[in-house]
Chain A
Amino acid sequence: MRCKHTCNSAEHFSRRGFLQGVTGGALGMAGFRNMVSAEGAQQLASSQKQVVVFWMSGGVSQLETWDPKPATDTGGPFQTIPTSVPGVHISELLPYTAQQMHHLALVRSINTNNNDHAKGDYMMQTGYRQTPGFEYPFLGSAFSSLLAPEESPLPHYLVLQTQGDYGNDSAFPLESSFLGPQHAPVSLRGGKPPTNLARPLQMPATSELRRRQLRAKLGQRFSLGRPSDDVEVYNASFEQAAAMMNHREMFDFEKFSAKDLERYGTHPFARHCLIARKLLENGITFVKIRHTDYDSHSENFNFHLEQLGEWDRPFATFVGDLAERGMLEQTLIIVMCEFGRTPKINVRMGRDHWGTAWSIALGGCGIQPGAVVGKTNANGTAVVDREVDSGHLFHTFYRAVGLDPTEDFVHEGRPFHRTDPKASAIQEILA
């Protein structure tokens, strides 16, 4: 399932031919360059909606995070702590996050009725159950196509992950499905700039620009009399790559201040949070940070103590920074994963896959600060109030950033719902 660019009207071709003439060269980026300057970032912050997803890969436990059940048969060893929102308690594993709770909101009543990693991953990244023969775009690709400024040739959807994370870069083009490769994610591994962004040592700086100019000049004549969507896609990807090379400083992650490093920490996840802050400040539409691995079939409690110990402070610092910099009103924060973990503690002191009653956290743009929606029963084995699934969550994400979830994508003349029409947004969590 890929994008379909073909429009058979000659008029359309000539219009695009014109656009290509304007933007095809290396110099077409001048207008955009202003946007990513310092003032540009401010300007962006006031208008453009942005999203950052914290993907708790493997399935973080709701009981050790947002919906603890201490002193029950399922509760485990950890206690709850109060938060900056009166009456709202979360796990004691998240002391820093608790202090930012007034910027966040919780959904504690998710039932996705699925315990499979791949299916849960698909469901929570697309808002749909997998159906053979059709692939919905991932949220990052969808929002890249719907929220990103059209004139920006930069990629709009970046994924931050550690070097050894299992995410396969070659599968990334699939995430954008019919929206096309320009909305596929670009991966940044190990806190480093994208692979092959740096100019080769032996290549003179003057060559970079000259190569692009020569390519545009010599290539242009070929397109005369040969209108082709594929050629446009090909040239557009050179523009995106050129835009990234023109903004290498945006991907220079060596220059965080000592103070920032002290506040966030220096481990990979802390660094990813700092990088995300920088990318958002530079106008990138969608950043997904993968934090692995929460798949704690054994030693669940030690596991979460360690993993959340790493996660809590940088995440909370990130939320606080965005609030302080006035970015939070425009930036939707989502903390989610493929499913939660079983209330039942297994013989290996682990918790298994559990899609029946679990939680996520949201915050920022369009979200009611401090809201808590839904409820599970006393020991967390079932949803008792306001049951929702991934469809409801996706409606909510769309509404939060000011998009209409009931509109359609159109692919090859056929409309596809942006979100599951059987679901609707969780109104009480929206600002």
Chain B
Amino acid sequence: MSDDGVHDNLALRIRFLSTWITVFAGFISVSALADEPLHEVIDRLIAAKVPAYAEVVAPLAGDDEFLRRVTLDLTGTIPTAEEARRFCDDSDPDKRSRLIDQLLGGPQYARHMQRVFDLLLMRRLPEMNVPTAQWQTYLRQSFAENKPWDQITREILGADGVDPDHCGPARFYLDRQGDADVITRDLGRIFLGADLECAQCHHHPEIDDWKQEDYYGLSAFIVRSFVFTDKDEKKSFAEKAEGDVEFISAFDVRDKKSQETKSTPPRVFGGPPIEEPKFEKGQEYEVAPADNVRPIPKFSRRDQLAESIIGTEHNRFARTAANRLWAMMMGRGLIHPVDHDHAGNPPSHPELLNRLGQEFATQKFDIQWLLREIALSRTYQLSSRHTASDLPTVALKDKSFARAILKPLSPAQLARAMLEATGEANVQRAALGDQLTEKTLDENLFKYEEEFVNRFGGPPGKPPEQFESTISQILFLSNHETIQNLIASKEGNLTDRLLRFTEEESAATADELFFSILSRLPTEQDVQDVSECLAGQTEESRTAAIEDLIWALITSPEFRFNH
């Protein structure tokens, strides 16, 4: 933004530093264990933490369980009945890795990641100054191109929203209304794994590493920034050349120890303070502030933010992202909760976390690469079910990763999975005919997604941190016409398909029912339950019984969770 020499020099130094860290980190990992791929490192380090691992670990997930899991994790929906049957019948020993590549390369990957990162970055905050459609398109394209995470970070933290055609990434700042406190908290949380909220008012009472200076060091990068409205009411993020953070510890005030306010230059987590060039009075601006004029300072603090965050010591930026991607796939971070990365909350597997962070950086923050390695690991592919009659205690502990953790479907996943399971997605595909593309289908299905997000996604700005299930959600699933309409028979949906079987064909009925909804073969007991339910039912009563079976399965825990 500024072509001032001092600024460039500084940015260069920071860039040099972060490159050096990256190269150095890469050097260690490559030289230490040259040929061991990351997915094998994962399995080795997970196993090493559990005594007698081989005896207590859950078995490898069956093809059906693996297919459903990885499809939900990488594309946000469940496989179709045909896909499930085909995958289970495929005898290619490499079919799992082939599937992973196919899912990462498909269009649904970008759609799903758009939703995951939209939630992470915007927490369902309402649209204020930037059209959400532009933001979502930006995210989707970024994931479709497999943009490196550091690049996405630079684009978002460097965005000012001046160009109306490219203001998508500026939503991070502008729809937080430029509020320095809200932005500071989310910078810490999202990019550095540190929820510094408490440190806004005083040193964190229980977390020694998080000082009030850390909060305000981060805040100092944006304290001069503000939402500028031009004469056409167009908003952008602008910056002044003056202004410093001021803070005082609420504890000091309470204990009457001190009334003095403190300040700090911009700096990220004990990293070097950003040195600011001094300008003579009146010379601070490239474009000086005036009525209806968007000021541009010669030195922009905000321009230093992305590189400072990316270059945070101990590889913290890479580690945080790697931990989040791990948590997305595994259902729990190596640091848990993911935004509590501090000395008092050590990772369950420190060496593994370091490796994930280092190699992620070495691979130039390639998100697909990391997801692929995680998905290839045996640890990811373990069953969620423990077969031992007497469950070993260690297998019950999520942090041992000795069996797959149940992950509740996100509201968007739940909506898409229901549409696929009940055959509504097929009905819509057929209705689109020639017009069918991923895009048109997504558009047609979006209203369902929206409805589920509104009902299951918590209030704007406060998405639930853990699984929760409310009565009003269950009453919705039980009695709302949206759900009834998905189940009610119509040409080409699941109820319609099932009604075409005769009563004698109960095994085939159960097979279609279970593959469509739960992506698996029914057990003998399942088949028996289905036959009993349908026995002697004809006409309307048979339709009702089939609808009831479908409802029971789409509301079952097996469907509600990714297992």
The answer to whether A171 and B462 touch across the interface, beta carbons within 8 angstroms, is yes
Q: Which residues of B contact A194 (CB under 8 A)?
A: 471-472, 475
The answer to whether A222 and B459 touch across the interface, beta carbons within 8 angstroms, is no
Say yes or no: is B363 at the interface (Cβ < 8 Å to chain A): no
Comparing A210-218, A340-348, A385-393, the segment that makes contact with chain B is A210-218
Rounded to whole Å, the gap between the CB of A339 and the closest CB of chain B is 23
CA distance A244 to B474 in the complex (A): 11
The answer to whether A230 and B561 touch across the interface, beta carbons within 8 angstroms, is yes
The answer to whether B406 and A238 touch across the interface, beta carbons within 8 angstroms, is no
List 10 tightest A-B contacts by C-beta distance, closest first. A214-B552, A241-B474, A196-B475, A237-B469, A215-B552, A222-B558, A225-B385, A219-B556, A230-B467, A2-B466
The answer to whether A10 and B552 touch across the interface, beta carbons within 8 angstroms, is no
CA distance A198 to B155 in the complex (A): 50
Pick the contact of B557: A132, A187, A234 (CB < 8 A).
A234
Prevailing SS type, chain A contact patch = helix
Q: 1/0 per position for B446-478, CB-CB distance to A under 8 A?
A: 000000001101110010111111111111101
Q: 1/0 per position for B185-212, CB-CB distance to A under 8 A?
A: 0000000000101101100000000000
Comparing B97-105, B479-487, B494-502, the segment that makes contact with chain A is B479-487
Say yes or no: is B547 at the interface (Cβ < 8 Å to chain A): yes
Pick the contact of A238: B385, B545, B555 (CB < 8 A).
B555
CA distance A219 to B549 in the complex (A): 11
The answer to whether A8 and B200 touch across the interface, beta carbons within 8 angstroms, is no
Number of interface residues of A (CB under 8 A): 60
Say yes or no: is B28 at the interface (Cβ < 8 Å to chain A): no
Say yes or no: is A200 at the interface (Cβ < 8 Å to chain B): yes
The answer to whether B555 and A241 touch across the interface, beta carbons within 8 angstroms, is no
Jot down 29 A-B pairs with beta carbons below 8 A, ordered by A: A155-B471, A170-B455, A170-B457, A170-B458, A173-B464, A173-B470, A174-B459, A181-B469, A197-B479, A203-B484, A204-B544, A210-B545, A215-B555, A215-B556, A217-B529, A217-B552, A218-B556, A222-B557, A225-B385, A225-B391, A227-B391, A228-B406, A228-B557, A231-B406, A231-B557, A231-B561, A234-B467, A235-B557, A237-B471
CA distance A169 to B458 in the complex (A): 9
Number of A-B residue pairs with CB-CB distance less than 8 Å in the complex they form: 162
Closest to A231 in B: B557
Say yes or no: is A305 at the interface (Cβ < 8 Å to chain B): no
CA distance A221 to B518 in the complex (A): 13
Q: A132-B200, A196-B480 are in contact. List 15 more A-B contacts (CB 8 A).
A: A170-B457, A174-B459, A195-B476, A199-B479, A202-B484, A204-B544, A222-B563, A224-B385, A230-B406, A234-B469, A236-B469, A237-B474, A240-B471, A241-B471, A241-B475
The answer to whether B384 and A226 touch across the interface, beta carbons within 8 angstroms, is yes
The answer to whether B472 and A206 touch across the interface, beta carbons within 8 angstroms, is no
CA distance A222 to B525 in the complex (A): 12
The answer to whether A233 and B197 touch across the interface, beta carbons within 8 angstroms, is no
Q: Which residues of A contact B471 (CB under 8 A)?
A: 155, 186, 194, 237, 240-241, 244
Rounded to whole Å, the gap between the CB of A66 and the closest CB of chain B is 33
The answer to whether A234 and B551 touch across the interface, beta carbons within 8 angstroms, is no
Say yes or no: is A223 at the interface (Cβ < 8 Å to chain B): yes
The answer to whether A200 and B459 touch across the interface, beta carbons within 8 angstroms, is no
Known: A2-B468, A238-B474. A225 touches B533 (CB 8 A): no
Pick the contact of B469: A10, A172, A199, A233 (CB < 8 A).
A233
Say yes or no: is A257 at the interface (Cβ < 8 Å to chain B): no
Closest to A232 in B: B557
